[in-house]
A and B are shown apart, each in its own frame.
Chain A
Amino acid sequence: MTATTTVENLAPKDFASDQEVRWCPGCGDYAVLKAVQRTLAELGVKKENTVFVSGIGCSSRFPYYLSTYGFHTIHGRAPAVATGVKLANPELDVWVVTGDGDGLSIGGNHTLHALRRNVDLQILLFNNEIYGLTKGQYSPTSRRGTRSPSTPHGSIELPVTPASFALGAGARFVARSVDAQQAHLCDTLKRAHEHKGASFVEIYQNCVVFNDRTFSRFTDKDTAADNQLLVEHGKPLLFGRDRKRGLSMRSGCLEIEVVTVGENGVTEADVLVHDETNRNLAGLLASLDTPEFPVALGVLYCDAAASYDAEIHAQVEAARSKTDKPSLNALLRRGQTWTVAG
């Protein structure tokens, strides 16, 4: 066979399955789906080598709407199933789609360990701070005081911060983006894809029915500029409409403060420069929130290390290379044996 085949890059629509998308009208998931399809097209990946694994929840319907391989598993367990997929065939490009309930409540343990082990997966956590599919109960990321069917007097629990959780678990790639910010989301997804090892991407996703506008304080047109900090490696941590506000280390203590360039003798040299390989800085950025601080978006942390799947296969290969052709017959006869003659 000498026929040459030209591989043409697929268009975003080629990554759509023939299934009708069934999220609520106005759901942020539509925007994330669009961004993922666009990202896959722009990355030029092969459909047959791409696997989307999800748990249970609104976001976890995701695989049905993609034309790649997909596995809609059970509540919270997507990282574990995806780990098995990747261990069986490390050549596959494996994405996990989960939500704040799926990935941080029932499946928190699996998220923790997939990150800690550094399995080469892209884990997209859609955070809408609410249980949507079960009709609106508070979730582990809901703000204290959230009124929901199960907390009529307001939630009394402290929420978990997904990015801080991921960093605490030892993740080597932690990023954040917003459903409706398509360009930023696509760029972030590409970085996640490029990273070898577990990539954790928290996507702020609006639940139009049960928790509408919960992120409006930093995602609305009129609030975004002053309340979002779009971090970029090697660039000063500046934000604000006129990009005059920045983050600086408060001297003498491990705290960040917001300073304004040009006021009180502050110059741009006083503003911290983002170093995405600095885990401590990433920890500080992950914990920032309004109103005192902006919400940090982009790649908060990226510092690659050997992936779990690569290391497991390296051990297997090392063991295999020690013998020409391993024989089970020989293995069974290793050690003490005896023969009974006829």
Chain B
Amino acid sequence: MAHGKVAGGGDLRGKLPREVRDAVVIRFAGDSGDGMQFTGSQFTQETAMVGNDLATFPDYPAEIRAPAGTTFGVSAFQIHFGVTDISTVGDELDVLVAMNPAALKVNLNDLRIGGTVIVDSGSFTKRNLQKAGFDNNPLEDDSMAPYQVIPLDIGKMTLEAVKDFELSSKEALRSRNMWTLGLTLWMYDRDRQVTINWLRSKFKQRPEIAAANIAALNAGHAFGETAEMPNYAVGYSIVESDIRPGEYRTATGTQTMAWGLLAGAQAAGLKIMFGSYPITPASPLLHALAGLKEFGVITFQAEDEIAAVCSAIGASFAGSLGVTSSSGPGIALKTEALGLAVATELPLVVINSQRAGPSTGMPTKTEQSDLFQAVYGRNGDTPLPVLAAATSTDCFEVAVEAVRIAIKYMTPVMVLTDAYLANAAEPWRIPDIEHLNRYPVRFRSDPEGFQPFLRDTDTLARPWAIPGTPGLEHRIGGIERDSQTGHISYDPENHEQMTRMRAAKIHGIAADTPTQELALGDDSGDLVVVGWGSTFGPIRQAVKRARDEGRAVSHVHLRYLNPLPRNLGDLLGAFTRVLVPEMNNGQLATILRSSFLLPAISLPKISGKPFKVREVAEGIRSALES
């Protein structure tokens, strides 16, 4: 489907005038069983098809099936869409859809004053109100006065819409989410075709269910269309988007990471052997790669985290690209094996989808608190490169780069992403794989002069000589190795030399990676805001806001966390102050202070939720006043 410059509004199909806005934030919230994730992702698809920029954030409970109607069973999906440069999921909601009292209770605080809340009034029964902890029905007292409330008996209208399909009322009520989706699609003047196609294919085996869902979707849409909506519940039109030409799709960080790993492996001419163990929120990467067998990808669900990383190391020894993934607690278990990979100097890519810690922490909540673990967290002097993805679609490039570094330097590489990036979707300008740089691996095959630890003078990498190659039989292991032969060596000078070599090799990678550029702003000023990972969006928006207010503030966003970019010290030194917002208790701030002796100011957020633009903006304001 081809568009020119995309206009999402314009032809007003409804009878009511639409208010034109730059962007809208909407959150669908309901019980875990209400299908809110489906509703949100379908809304995302329809919105992407109109060519709007967007960002999404699924927020689901840790419990697989929490008791119905409870606050801890509330599942939500937020989408922020509008004109170009949507880089956050949005601070405040313009619209909240609450399918039951618990969803209203949990999410109402995030709705802006004057915002719209659509509630399924049919679900506001005495029992549901009680379960949600309401003493009184909020629809009947004045507690909702600051908002525009649209109470609709969605359940009743859904039953009416699907009555011809002879479903049980339980089954019929499952289409409530599609009715709601139909209404919201009308409100924003979106099409329904993608959803209709999706329903048909999803329920191919049960056409009556597909038909009922489509009927509910159409009924919700018609409800808006025929102006049964209260007259203050106007729709919004999104003004024209100005997006870089090309072919687009929506993608989550999990998808782009899987594709990036594959693209990197193809560029190297290697097969992927992915060893992993299920853990939230990293498991979807295992699922994604398990679906890529046609590309020769081997996935191995190991018995534990340790076996997962060890199998990947074994695969790299044998000439595959070994990859493993996990989240913080699992990475902790892999620690000793990462030391082995550093010691034996084998390529390995390790993906850490960070979540709130310590220990089990909050498995479904996002955090950036594994930076120290990634950079320092091993016994011995054991350096390895660390990269971080800034956005869901940045995961693609970061994965490709991690593969390149791992094989060129014969080293494990840690990639930091997080629960937010793994799950959040955004539009992605699809790259042309044919135009990616290739860096084919040349395994050592010549026995002449072969020594397993004789280093390349440029990269300091040792040769990759794989089993199956005649004449290159050798032994490697975790005991310190002679700097040439790789034989066991307890020689004091050899150990010192090897330790220095391992450090120099990783340090030298900074000469092979781009110098750090500004994400936004001038190269000197009163303040530079330094971020890494998924805080990119809120920092960018906050810096933009400060600059609009005339302040000399710039944004630097790091992809390379170890080694740091070679010009970073000079770059940051040109600013009077350095502010480091991060979703941990100040880890990058500490690294910057120790690396450059800079008085970096830490702006921590440790709530398991992404930064709001407002929070970074306030941090900027107070740092400028300090």
Contact = CB atoms under 8 A, between A and B. Distances in A.
A269 interface: no
B313 A81 contact: yes
Given A48-B467, A64-B475, A323-B294, A73 B310 contact: yes
Contacts of A83: 300, 302, 307, 311, 314
B567 interface: no
Interface string A56-79: 000000011011111111100101
B475 A77 contact: no
B295 A328 contact: yes
Of the listed residues A80, A81, A318, the one surrounded by the most CB atoms of chain B closer than 10 A to its CB is: A80
Of the listed residues A72, A85, A112, A333, the one surrounded by the most CB atoms of chain B closer than 10 A to its CB is: A85
A160 B487 CA distance: 35
Of the listed residues A320, A327, A328, A332, the one surrounded by the most CB atoms of chain B closer than 10 A to its CB is: A332
Contacts of A312: 298, 300
Given A326-B294, A328-B262, A340-B244, A92 B318 contact: yes
A73 B1 contact: no
A109 interface: yes
A29 to B, nearest CB: 16
Contacts of A77: 306-307, 310, 337
A279 B304 CA distance: 28
Interface in B1-22: 1-6
Interface of B is mostly: mixed
A314 to B, nearest CB: 11
B574 interface: no
B538 interface: no
A144 B206 CA distance: 63
Interface stretch (B23-31, B357-365, B476-484): B476-484
A89 B319 contact: yes
A91 B340 CA distance: 25
B246 A339 contact: yes
A335 B246 CA distance: 16
Interface in A91-106: 91-92
A87 interface: yes
A109 B308 CA distance: 12
A76 to B, nearest CB: 8
Contact of A340 (B248, B292, B320): B248
B45 interface: yes
B249 interface: yes
Sorting the interface of chain A by its residue count into under 10, 10 to 19, 20 to 34 or 35 or more gives 35 or more
Contacts of B247: 333, 337-339
A84 B430 contact: no
Interface string A313-341: 10110111011001111011101111111
Contact of B313 (A79, A84, A109): A84
A229 interface: no
Interface stretch (B59-67, B106-114, B407-415, B431-439): B431-439
Contact of A48 (B262, B298, B469, B488): B469
B261 to A, nearest CB: 11
B383 to A, nearest CB: 19
Contacts of A51: 318, 467
A64 B306 CA distance: 24
B69 to A, nearest CB: 34
A272 B623 CA distance: 86
A341 B2 contact: yes
B245 A85 contact: no
Given A72-B475, A85-B318, A328-B263, A80 B467 contact: no
B266 A71 contact: no
Nearest to B290: A315
Nearest to B427: A338
Nearest to B474: A69
B473 A71 contact: no
A80 B478 contact: no
A124 interface: no
A46 to B, nearest CB: 8
Interface in B523-538: none
B49 interface: yes
A88 to B, nearest CB: 4
A50 B469 CA distance: 10
B561 interface: no
Nearest to B475: A70
A71 B431 CA distance: 39
Contacts of B319: 88-89
Contact of A88 (B1, B48, B320): B320
A337 B248 contact: yes
Contacts of A190: none
A264 interface: no
Interface string B457-470: 00000000011111
Contacts of A80: 302-303, 306-308, 310-311, 314
A339 B318 contact: no
B146 to A, nearest CB: 38
A336 B318 contact: no
Given A73-B310, A80-B306, A47 B473 contact: yes
Nearest to B488: A64
A328 B433 contact: yes
Contacts of A327: 433
Nearest to B311: A84
Given A70-B476, A71-B476, A84-B322, A322 B314 contact: no
Contacts of A89: 318-320, 466-468
A19 interface: yes
A242 to B, nearest CB: 48
Contacts of A46: 470
B471 interface: yes
A48 B244 contact: no
Given A81-B313, A340-B246, A110 B303 contact: yes
Contacts of B259: 328, 331-332
A224 B473 CA distance: 39
B117 to A, nearest CB: 30
A287 B477 CA distance: 36
B122 interface: no
A80 B1 CA distance: 48
Contacts of B315: 84-85, 87-88
B114 to A, nearest CB: 33
A237 interface: no
Contacts of B263: 328
A73 B316 CA distance: 13
A159 to B, nearest CB: 23
Contacts of A85: 314-315, 317-318, 467
A335 B251 CA distance: 11
Contacts of B271: 88
B514 interface: no
A278 interface: no
B504 interface: no
Nearest to A56: B478
A85 B273 CA distance: 10
A19 B488 CA distance: 9
A74 B473 CA distance: 20
B487 A19 contact: yes
Nearest to A319: B293
B336 interface: yes
Of the listed residues A70, A73, A88, A322, the one surrounded by the most CB atoms of chain B closer than 10 A to its CB is: A88
B608 interface: no
Closest 10 CB pairs of A and B: A84-B314, A72-B477, A84-B311, A80-B310, A319-B293, A70-B475, A80-B307, A88-B318, A81-B314, A342-B245
Interface of A: 17, 19, 46-51, 53, 63-64, 66-74, 77, 79-89, 91-92, 109-110, 112-113, 312-313, 315-316, 318-320, 322-323, 326-329, 331-333, 335-342
5 contacts: A64-B477, A109-B304, A316-B293, A340-B246, A340-B248
Given A48-B472, A73-B477, A84-B322, 17 more contacts: A19-B487, A47-B473, A48-B470, A63-B475, A69-B475, A71-B476, A74-B339, A80-B314, A83-B302, A85-B314, A89-B320, A89-B468, A316-B296, A332-B259, A332-B433, A338-B49, A339-B245
